[in-house]
Amino acid sequence: MKRQPEPANETSIITTTEISTPLGPMLAGATAKGVCILEFINRIRLEKEIIDLQKLLNAVMQPGENQHLAQLKDELAEYFDGKRKVFSVPLHAPGNEFAQTVWQTLQKIPYGQTCSYKQQADQMNNPKAIRAIASTNGRNRLAIIIPCHRVIGSDGSMTGYAAGVEKKKWLLKFERNNSEKPADTLF
């Protein structure tokens, strides 16, 4: 089931800003409904991702601020201070039913822990969909908030990460160092 774009007669606004992080600048964008994009500026295919998002939401991007971006900035600062483990900022993540399920499953991976694509597929009761799940993880537009960086290969290898494997390693090490639970526990 493919997600339909927003009604064509109404153009939405995606308010955007740049947020500095210890790993470099991130592009953040939010509609009136919630944060719809948070990506490292150096993410591969970022321009295509932005174009696709604008089409899905029938939206244009414009620099500025809104309440969701203000909340996101506060929550990201808390995250990088090691104080925030779960985000509560409203999200506006358009996608079909399968994508929504994949992204919800990602949000269940506890802070400081990892899982494999196979484990994610098993968690979704869809063990044959490993490749589709991996592909959908790669289309996640909300880095860190929807923690696709917590998914690794079945052999423990660092699999691809659109912003670079070094950022993925950094995030995993950072979360392990700020976690109360042992890092070897998988979800």
Looking at the annotation, which residues are catalytic? 148
Q: Taking the chain, what is the end-to-end CA distance rounded to the nearest angstrom?
A: 28
Report the distance separating Cα 66 and Cα 72, nearest Å.
10
Give the C-alpha separation, 187 to 143, whole Å.
19
**Which residue is it, tokens 């790993």?**
23
Yes or no: say if 57 and 8 are a contact pair by the CB < 8 Å rule.
no
Give the SS3 label for residue 34.
coil
Q: Of 8, 54, 3, 4, nearest to 31 (Cα)?
A: 54
- Residue closest to 149 by CA, chosen among 43, 77, 74: 43
Please, which residues have CB within 8 angstroms of residue 5's CB and are 6 or more apart in sequence?
55, 56, 57, 58
